[in-house]
C-alpha cells in the first residue's frame, strides 16, 4: 500500500472550514484514498473515501488532485466535536483490503 504524509497538527476556528492535506505520491491506479478520524479513546470513525473523483457526503468533502498524488479533506463548518486525529489512508480496491494507519493529523478546533 502507498505511504501517506500528513501534517502532525492543525488548528481551526469553530465555524470555519478545516482543510486537511494529505500527500500520497506513490499511489497506484487501483488504490483508493480513505479518511478516518479517531476521537480520544474511541474506535476510528469512517468519514469518506474516493478513487479519483471528488466526493462529498454529510460529513465532509474529499478533493483529489488530477494526478492523484495528493488530496484534501474539507470539513465545511468545523465544530468543537470535530477535534480528533484524522487519518488519510491509501488502500487497494480489492474487497477487505487492509488499512495501514500512519500518525495522522491532530486537528484542534478552537472556540
Partner 1 sequence: GAVVSQHPSRVICKSGTSVKIECRSLDFQATTMFWYRQFPKQSLMLMATSNEGSKATYEQGVEKDKFLINHASLTLSTLTVTSAHPEDSSFYICSAFTSMADTQYFGPGTRLTVL
List strand residue ranges (DSSP E) for 1-111, in order: 9-13, 18-23, 31-38, 45-50, 55-56, 61-64, 70-75, 84-92, 105-110
Phi and psi torsions of 82, nearest 5°: -85, -5
CB of 98 to partner 1, least distance (A): 6
- In whole angstroms, the minimum distance from the beta carbon of 14 to partner 1 comes to 24
Q: Considering only residues 27, 73, 104, 107, which one is a binding residue for partner 1 as defined by CB under 8 A? A: 104
Closest to partner 1 by CB, 5 or 46:
46
Residues forming contacts to partner 1 in the complex (CB under 8 A) are: 32, 34, 36, 38, 41-46, 49, 87, 93, 95-96, 98-104
Amino acid at each position: 500500500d502507498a505511504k501517506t504524509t500528513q501534517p502532525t497538527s492543525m488548528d481551526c476556528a469553530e465555524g470555519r472550514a478545516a482543510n486537511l492535506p494529505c500527500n500520497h505520491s506513490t499511489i497506484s491506479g487501483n488504490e483508493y484514498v480513505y479518511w478516518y478520524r479517531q476521537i480520544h479513546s474511541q474506535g476510528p470513525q469512517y468519514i469518506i473515501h474516493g478513487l479519483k473523483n471528488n466526493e462529498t457526503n454529510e460529513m465532509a468533502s474529499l478533493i483529489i488532485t488530477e494526478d492523484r498524488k495528493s488530496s484534501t479533506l474539507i470539513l465545511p463548518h468545523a465544530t468543537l466535536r470535530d477535534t480528533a486525529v484524522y487519518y488519510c489512508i491509501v488502500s487497494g480496491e480489492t474487497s477487505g483490503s487492509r488499512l495501514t494507519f500512519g500518525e495522522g493529523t491532530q486537528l484542534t478546533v478552537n472556540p
